[in-house]
């Protein structure tokens, strides 16, 4: 793939400050994601979670962008591009699984990856997440701690998994997966919406002062996240 994230030939100085949160309700359109009881589909439910989270974040002063607001299905790259076009953004992709202990939530980040041996000073699109991994872990830890306080049975620590959506995102990025569409009745999932929104908002409030936008490397220099 020849795409590159917006890169710079001159180094940009480190900068504190989190400006924008990109929320990604996964799936959509013909891709309904997980399907469960009472005709629950992941793509519909996750939109409710994202909408409530947007409100909770805006109440804390964040600017929020949703990758979709209706029943459409942007590509992985289009979703990542919403964050990659910003400076000082974080990206949260939201999912509802068809398995797992109902009433729990898990946070995933990409596994460790070696830094690209890059001579152009640009971040390769396919590995855009790599320079942001330590920030993603910090954000993931904070959000997971908030989730495990609210949802008994959720893990205390974040998980790692090669989630496709995260790989091309040039920003601190986490996936939040809620269990599950296999609840006995829809109301069980609906009851989780405020808690998930609040946990994410509080995690981000804690993360905000520590967020330093990584320096974009120039040829011959290593990345300093």
DSSP-derived 3-state class of residue 140: helix
**Where would I find the H helices in 31-157?**
42-59, 76-84, 133-150
Is residue 85 exposed (0-12), middle (13-18) or buried (19+ Cβ within 10 Å)? middle
Q: What is the largest CA-CA distance in the chain?
A: 57
- Give the count of alpha carbons within 13 A of 16, CB side only: 4
> Does 59 sit near other proteins (CB under 8 A)?
no
Rounded CA-CA distance 114/218 in Å is 17
> Does 146 sit near other proteins (CB under 8 A)?
no
Q: Is 6 left (phi over 0), alpha (psi -120 to 50) or beta?
A: beta
Whole-number minimum distance, CB 32 to other proteins, in Å?
9
Residues found in the chain: 225
- Give the count of alpha carbons within 13 A of 118, CB side only: 24
Of the candidates 51, 63, 71, 159, which one interacts with other proteins according to CB under 8 A?
159
R_g of the chain computed on alpha carbons: 17
Binding mask 160-179 for other proteins (x = CB under 8 A): -xxxxx-x-------x-x-x
Whole-number minimum distance, CB 224 to other proteins, in Å?
20
> Does 45 sit near other proteins (CB under 8 A)?
no
Binding mask 5-44 for other proteins (x = CB under 8 A): ---------------------xx---x-xxx------x--
Nearer to other proteins, 135 or 175 (CB): 175
Binding mask 73-112 for other proteins (x = CB under 8 A): ---x------------------xxxxxxx----x-x--xx
Rounded CA-CA distance 195/68 in Å is 22
Strand partners, 91: 22, 173
Nearer to other proteins, 162 or 209 (CB): 162
Nearer to other proteins, 60 or 99 (CB): 99
Whole-number minimum distance, CB 95 to other proteins, in Å?
6
> Does 61 sit near other proteins (CB under 8 A)?
no
DSSP-derived 3-state class of residue 73: coil
Nearer to other proteins, 106 or 202 (CB): 106
Site residues (vs other proteins, CB under 8 A)? 1, 26-27, 31, 33-35, 42, 76, 95-101, 106, 108, 111-114, 126-127, 155, 159, 161-165, 167, 175, 177, 179-180
């Amino acid at each position: 793939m020849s795409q590159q994230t917006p890169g710079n030939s001159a180094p940009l100085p480190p900068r504190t400050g989190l400006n924008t949160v990109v929320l990604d309700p996964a799936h959509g359109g013909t891709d309904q994601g997980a399907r469960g009881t009472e005709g629950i589909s992941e793509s519909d439910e996750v939109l409710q979670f994202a909408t409530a989270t947007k409100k909770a974040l805006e109440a804390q002063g964040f600017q929020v962008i949703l990758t979709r607001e209706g029943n459409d299905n942007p590509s992985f790259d289009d979703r990542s591009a919403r964050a990659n076009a910003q400076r000082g953004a974080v990206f949260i992709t939201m999912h509802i699984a068809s398995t797992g202990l109902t009433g729990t939530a898990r946070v995933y980040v990409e596994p460790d990856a070696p830094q690209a041996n890059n001579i152009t000073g640009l971040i390769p699109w396919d590995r855009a997440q790599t320079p942001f991994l330590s920030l993603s872990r910090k954000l993931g830890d904070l959000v997971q701690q908030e989730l495990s306080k609210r949802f008994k049975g959720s893990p205390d620590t974040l998980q790692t998994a090669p989630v496709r959506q995260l790989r091309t995102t040039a920003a601190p990025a986490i996936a939040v997966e809620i269990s599950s569409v296999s609840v006995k009745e829809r109301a069980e999932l609906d009851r989780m919406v405020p808690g998930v929104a609040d946990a994410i908002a509080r995690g981000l409030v804690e993360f905000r002062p520590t967020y330093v936008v990584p320096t974009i490397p120039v040829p011959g220099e290593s990345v300093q996240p």
